[in-house]
Amino acid sequence: MAATHRTRDQTPAVVTLGTSGTTPGDVIAVARDGARVELSGEALGAMAAARRVVDELAARPEPVYGVSTGFGALAVRHIAPELRIALQRNIVRSHAAGLGPRVEREVVRALMFLRLKTLASGHSGVRPGVARAMADVLNAGITPVVHEYGSLGCSGDLAPLSHCALTLIGEGEAEGPDGRVRPAAELLAEHGIDPVELREKEGLALLNGTDGMLGMLLLACADLARLLTSADITAALTLEALLGTERVLDAELNALRPHPGQAASGANMRRVLAGSGLTGHHQDDAPRVQDAYSVRCAPQVAGAGRDTLDHARTVAARELSASVDNPVVVSGRVTSNGNFHGAPLGYALDFLAIAAADLASIAERRTDRLLDRNRSHGLPPFLARDAGVDSGLMIAQYTQAALVSELKRLAVPASVDSIPSSAMQEDHVSMGWSAARKLRRALDCLTGVIAIELCAASRAIELRAQRLRPGPAAEAVVAAARAAGVGGAGEDRFLAPDLASAEAFVRDGSLVRAAEAVTGPLA
């Protein structure tokens, strides 16, 4: 397992890779926080031992896939020793064939670190110096330019990883620590890193992994965990603003259907609602026996999302302990396998997109209820100051509905698709990279949806507070949101800046921190 040295605020400062994998926190620390990467003596020894196996096989006349043959459909050709350096260099050049917008820096750093994790396991057969060079590139803050399109999620994330390998050999373009894109050779030279001359199997070993998919899954798991807690908070605020009943959140009721996620979301909502003077008034001016599904079933929907997230984390944990490459060095031999297929990751990524879409859908329904005078139990239409003169949050809900519609489109699974490649040698692919890319967009949309519910619920609570006092957690959230630039009730104004401030308030965790200042840690 990776050894981690942490700073006072618990952000890893140095991550040391061994032979048995790493942790989600360490991947995120390297990807997002720039933690330094080191290789343990154990890892360097394992790589050297595996390299001796490759060198021995390379000296034999018999062809060995990845060592002395071509690749994919071209694996039938035996490559002479004098051409093998060119073979490894050429696979990097030819496979660096991505197209489209640049992939985010954090994703590229995650996939590089995860590829290095597999190299460090001692099953890829690369020289220790190749791994050291990759660590040096990460530590220098050099980020290869990787493009949106080029991976089918099988035989690894080939084009994205190839663009990273291209930087290692001093070719192509990369982003420096200052954010400028420049020739990779210049950046390597500035940081005293020698370009790598690849030998037998090394080019292939740098390309043949599911690291992009896994990196994006780990980042998404961290983001969705925060959004699920955020959604519990905004759901509780909406319940308060609608004068709903908190009795449906009782632990005893949740225990009748013992899903762990439901119990966690119900507990979060109870803690946010503690001490509220708004709840329990559902029998007042407009009596109702029970609240609408979007309010009453909030823990069931968010809880199902939590359980889906737990499944995805289980998949990710298994992948973090895996060594994904083809061929691999095991028991003194180099052998082919199919472990590079991205199906396990693709399914999990698609599953999370479905959960995100439904979480957004129920949040939008709650927002619409707050804005509709016929269902809001005494709130003004659209939470406007002077309805008719003012439109309030009418069009904010339009924006929210557009985001939910986009989320539904993004929830269509990518992993059910397959387009054969490499002259039918690679005749079934996972499309896991595509699943990961759309999940990142889905979580951006979900952030906006929760932010708009926050705008509506906080404004409604302010309006209610003229007569009834909300709970301490709601007061803390509303105060923090206002301090962060999320405007409250009043006459109409340019609304987009309010929504942008609310989105940032949700995205950076400020919403959760504001609630937890009163409730203590939430699940």
Q: Would you please indicate which residues are annotated as catalytic (active-site) residues?
A: 65
HEC string of 5-73 equals: EECCCCCEEEEEECCCCCCHHHHHHHHHHCCEEEECHHHHHHHHHHHHHHHHHHCCCCCCCCCCECCHH
Would you tell me how many other CB atoms lie within 10 Å of the CB of residue 168? Answer: 26
- 494-503 long-range contacts (CB < 8 A, ≥24 apart) are 495/393, 495/395, 495/396, 498/455, 499/396, 499/399, 499/448, 499/451, 499/452, 499/455, 502/451, 502/452, 502/454, 502/455, 503/447, 503/448, 503/451
Q: Which SS3 state, helix, strand or coil, does residue 308 take?
A: helix
CA 431/CA 391 separation, integer angstroms: 44
* 166 token code pair: 């291209």
Give yes or no for a contact between 210 and 153, defined as CB atoms under 8 angstroms apart.
yes
- Euclidean distance between CA atoms 313 and 351, whole angstroms: 12
Q: Which of 358, 338, 350 is nearest to 217 (CA)?
A: 350
**How long, in residues, is the chain?**
523
Show the DSSP H helices in 66-174 as ranges. 84-95, 105-120, 128-139, 158-168
Q: Which of 223, 305, 296, 294 is nearest to 264 (CA)?
A: 305
Rounded Cα gap, residues 30 and 211, in angstroms: 14
The answer to whether residues 497 and 396 touch, using CB atoms and an 8 Å cutoff, is: no
By the 8 A CB rule, do 305 and 356 touch? yes
C-alpha dist (Å) from residue 47 to 50, 222, 318, 329, 388: 5, 31, 22, 10, 72
